[in-house]
Structure 1
Amino acid sequence: MSRLGKLPVEIPSGVSAAINNAVIQVKGPKGELSFALPRNVAVEHGDDGITVQPADESKESRAMWGTTRATISNMVHGVTQGFTRDLELIGVGYRAQMQGNDLKLSLGLSHDVVYTPRNGIKIATPKPTEIKIEGPDKQVVGQTAAEIRDFRPPEPYKGKGIKYSDEYVRRKEGKKK
């Protein structure tokens, strides 16, 4: 039995949720999100919030029970407060700056890398070596951060590259004579 799945998702004031044709839509001050519900869960909108129940006792429906509840909870959190991901650039000459909506990265390559974010994602560079990614959808914010990090992931010998602010890069010892 899912401990988190049986808890209702509370809908705060200023947020509206609607379930139409196996699609849940959540609207709030930060934006609007929708999610196609799986067939093997039953979702109801009540006075205490949104409750999720498995449609039957199969292993697949019990697995999707908690996952669906967590996704709906993340949608409600995203349209009220939003999600952020912070990146750090480590290396001599590694810089980031905004050009309109695009992010221009100088990463020691022969050319500058220009990244165009997806709709609903806001990228800011408070310092030339910091990147802040904000948006209402947790998955899209994480995917955007991963795509930017993939341009130059941190390497283990000098630690140069783009890393998450909470990431620890394991360092290796170099060659010895």
Structure 2
Amino acid sequence: MLENAPVYNDFEQLIIDNKSDRGILLATFKPSAIIRMEIVEDDREWSAEKLEKVKLRSKQNKLFEDNDKVFSVVSKLPYKFKYVFTDVTGRERTLTINDWEIGALFWKEEKRFGGDEAKALESVKHMYLTQHIKDRDVHFFCGHHPILGQHERAKSVHDHWCVHTAP
């Protein structure tokens, strides 16, 4: 599916194409170098507003007759994980990793370390900076957040996030 899609190495060009009539919604991006991972503490609970938005979206789906029985709240990840990297221009960029796998890894590591979040975070960071990228030709699958709307395009680098990393 993506074999004919361009692979971006200049993040500014990805933003330009996103703003253009091409309207790039999902793109493959190859960073020049991954510098570090940042972990930022986030809210520990879902806001009432966010829960209501998600619940309303679930009701739009006609697949199930009674969506209230299907809708359930998952634990909120109390951290945001971000890659800091450079593109082909040498400019340093930051993208939030918005991938379920990093959240699942955090929960697994927290359990393994008996609830010690600091040890779990260090383990996640270590894995993502070694096993996930060392000696690999890493690419990011990048998109922008759906709250921007179906037709509104991401306006800046801050509106983009990394969906997944692929070796």
TM-score, normalization: structure 2?
Answer: 0.20
Q: Which has the larger radius of gyration?
A: 1
- Going by fraction, where is strand more abundant, 1 or 2? 1
TM-score, normalization: structure 1?
Answer: 0.20
Higher relative CO (Cα under 8 Å, sequence separation at least 6) belongs to: 2
- Going by fraction, where is helix more abundant, 1 or 2? 2
